[in-house]
Amino acid sequence: MPPHRFLLWGIGRENQAYLQYLEQTAWDGEVLLFDEGERTPEQVEFLSRLRFAVSAVSDVDDALKTVDLLMRSPGVSPYKASIQRFLKAGGQTTTPTAVALRLLKSRGIRVVGVTGTNGKSSTCTMLGCVFAAAAQTCIVAGNIGKPLISLLDDGTDLSDLLIVLELSSYQIFDLDIAPDYLIFLNLFVDHVEWHKTDVNYKADKLSILTKPGILQSFVHPDVFNLCSKEAGNISTFAIPSDTEKNEQRLNHGTSQIDLNGSIAGANHHMLQNASAVAAMAGTLGISGDVIEKGLRVFAGLDHRLQVIGQIEGTTFVDDSISTTPESVLAALDSFPGKRVHLFLGGYDRGLDYASLLTAMSNYKIATLILMGDVGKRLRAEIENLHPAPTALNIKTVKDLCQSLDGVHFAQDDVVLLSPGASSFDSYRDYIHRGQAFAEEVARATSKRGA
C-alpha cells in the first residue's frame, strides 16, 4: 500500500486503474493530483466516485515538497527538473506497472516481459497466440491490452495464469523488479524528448536486464553485446538466415517451424520476432508443432502493415504505429520491387533520419508525402543530399486531409502510411492517425472512380 498521502501526476488510463485498485482495497488516505491537461467529463465523473480524498494541486513543486512518493503516469518523464529535485531530496517515483508487477510476482504469478524499440506489440500478440495454442491461460497486458494493475481488482482468476507484459522505456525506468522471463527485441534511438539524451534512453532500456528476478531472457545479438556484466540468465535468440527468410521458416532445435504464407513469416522483421517467441516458448516447455500452430493463428495488428484496401490494383497499407526511422525501413522491406507512395513525418522528437534517407535509394519510392514538422525538416535534408534523389516526387502536407490529391498511383503500386514519427502534432494517437488515413483513402478513391 502507498503512504497515507502521495502525489499522483497524470490521470491517464494507468493512473485511473491504480486509483480503482486503491478503491477496491479500502485505502483511505489522500491523493494529491497534478494534471497538466484539461480533464475530460469522463475523468471528472470517475474522480467524483472515489471514496477517498483527491485534492487537485496547481503547483507541482510545492506539492512534491509535502510527499515522499510520486506515482507518475508513464508519459511523465522523471527527467523533468521538478522530479529530479524531488529524487535528489530522497523522494521515490513509481508507476502502476511497477506496483502491479511486484504484487503479482509476490503471489507466484509468472510474467513474460517484452521490450525493445520496435516490434513489441506484435511479439506480445504472437506470444498470446502460442500460449493459447498450448492451452495455457494467458493475458496480454501493459502497453497493449489492459493496464497490469487492473488485473488485481477486476475479478480476474489469477490461478495458473501467465501474463505477457509489453514494457516501454517509460515503464522500465523505475521498476524495482523484473519479469520472470524477458524478450528484448532490438535497440535503436527513440523517445529522446522524454529521456533527454540517446545515452539515457539506451541505458534506461538496458537497465531491465540487471534488475532482480529474471529467470531467463532472450535478447537480440546486438543487444547482448551492449549488456552489462551484471545481466544474468541471458541468451540470444536466433536471427533467421537468408534461407529461412526466403522459405519463411525457422529452425527450432532438431525441427522446423513452417510459417510460409502466414503473417508471422510475411517479412524478415516478423520472422525475427517469431524467432524470439519460439525461443521463449521452447524454454517454457512448448513443443515446436504447438509453436507453429500458434504463430499461424497470429493475424497481425491494426495499424501495423494493415491492408485497408485494394483498388484497381493499388494496395493501401496502414502502418500508422510506425514511429521510428527503423520501423519505416521494416515496412518498406515488406514490399520488395513495388512502387511505393510513402507518407512520412509527424511530430518532431529530434530523431536522426539520415540512415533512412540514405537507404531510400534502395526502394522504388515514387512519391514521398511529407507531413508535420518532421516532414519540413526532411524536405530540407533531402534537398541537401549529395547526390540528390532522382525521379522522386515530393509533396509536403500539413496532415492527411486531401493528401492524396495529385498522387498518381497505378496497377501494382503500394500507398503506404508509415510515418516514422509520433502523431501528436495533428492526431490524438496513432489509431486516430490511421483512421484519418482510411478516411482519406476512401475519399480519394471514390473521387477517382466518379
Q: What is the CATH number of the domain that holds 190?
A: 3.40.1190.10
Specify whether 276 is located in the same domain as 311: no
Specify whether 74 is located in the same domain as 201: no
pLDDT at 389: 60
Tens of pLDDT along 250-270? 999 888 999 998 998 888 899
Strand partners of residue 397: 371
- CA 23, CA 50: separation in Å to the nearest integer? 7
- Are 443 and 401 in contact, with CB atoms under 8 Å apart? no
- CA 389, CA 383: separation in Å to the nearest integer? 8
Specify whether 292 is located in the same domain as 313: no
Specify whether 339 is located in the same domain as 420: yes
- How far CA 174 is from CA of 93, 168, 169, 211, 302, in Å, comes to 7, 11, 10, 10, 30
Tens of pLDDT along 45-78? 999 999 999 999 999 999 999 999 999 999 999 9
172-181, 351-360, 420-429 — which one is most confidently predicted on average?
Answer: 172-181
Q: Is 327 helix (H, G, I), strand (E, B) or coil?
A: helix
Residue 381 has a CB neighbour count (10 Å cut-off) of 12
What single-letter amino acid sits at 306? Q
pLDDT at 279: 97
Q: What is the CATH number of the domain that holds 80?
A: 3.40.50.720
Specify whether 71 is located in the same domain as 142: no
What single-letter amino acid sits at 177? I
- CA 15, CA 149: separation in Å to the nearest integer? 9
Range of the domain at 173: 98-297
pLDDT at 33: 97
Specify whether 112 is located in the same domain as 237: yes
- CA 205, CA 198: separation in Å to the nearest integer? 11
- CA 67, CA 3: separation in Å to the nearest integer? 9
Strand partners of residue 181: 112, 216
Specify whether 216 is located in the same domain as 80: no
- CA 61, CA 67: separation in Å to the nearest integer? 11
Query: Chain-wide mean pLDDT for the chain?
Result: 92
pLDDT-derived band of residue 105, with 50, 70 and 90 as boundaries? Answer: very high
Domain boundary among 297, 321, 340: 297
The set of cell numbers assigned to 284 is: 517454457
- pLDDT of 169 strictly over 50: yes
- pLDDT of 185 strictly over 60: yes
What single-letter amino acid sits at 349? R
The set of cell numbers assigned to 298 is: 497470429
Tens of pLDDT along 235-252? 999 999 999 999 999 999
- Are 1 and 66 in contact, with CB atoms under 8 Å apart? no
pLDDT-derived band of residue 450, with 50, 70 and 90 as boundaries? Answer: very low
- pLDDT of 156 strictly over 80: no
- CA 386, CA 382: separation in Å to the nearest integer? 9
Q: How many CA atoms lie within 13 A of 150 on its CB side?
A: 14
Specify whether 338 is located in the same domain as 222: no
Domain boundary among 94, 118, 142: 94
pLDDT at 154: 64
Tens of pLDDT along 392-420? 789 999 899 999 998 998 899 999 999 99
- How far CA 149 is from CA of 68, 96, 145, in Å, comes to 21, 6, 12
Q: What is the CATH number of the domain that holds 445?
A: 3.90.190.20
**132-141, 142-151, 212-221: range with lowest mean pLDDT:** 142-151
Residue 254 has a CB neighbour count (10 Å cut-off) of 6
Number of compact structural domains in the chain: 3
* % of the chain exceeding 90 in pLDDT: 78
Specify whether 200 is located in the same domain as 69: no
Sequence-distant (≥ 6) Cβ neighbours of residue 310 within 8 angstroms? 316
pLDDT at 358: 87
pLDDT-derived band of residue 90, with 50, 70 and 90 as boundaries? Answer: very high
pLDDT at 164: 98
- Are 314 and 338 in contact, with CB atoms under 8 Å apart? no
Tens of pLDDT along 351-395? 899 989 989 889 999 999 999 999 999 998 888 876 656 557 899
Specify whether 277 is located in the same domain as 338: no
Specify whether 43 is located in the same domain as 174: no
Domain boundary among 94, 114, 132: 94
Sequence-distant (≥ 6) Cβ neighbours of residue 400 within 8 angstroms? 343, 371, 417, 426, 433, 436, 437, 439, 440
pLDDT at 391: 57
Q: Is 272 helix (H, G, I), strand (E, B) or coil?
A: helix
- CA 196, CA 180: separation in Å to the nearest integer? 29
Specify whether 73 is located in the same domain as 141: no
- pLDDT of 209 strictly over 90: yes
pLDDT at 392: 76
- Mean pLDDT, residues 29-51: 91
Q: How far apart are the first and last CA of the chain?
A: 63
- Are 313 and 295 in contact, with CB atoms under 8 Å apart? no
pLDDT at 439: 95
pLDDT at 449: 55
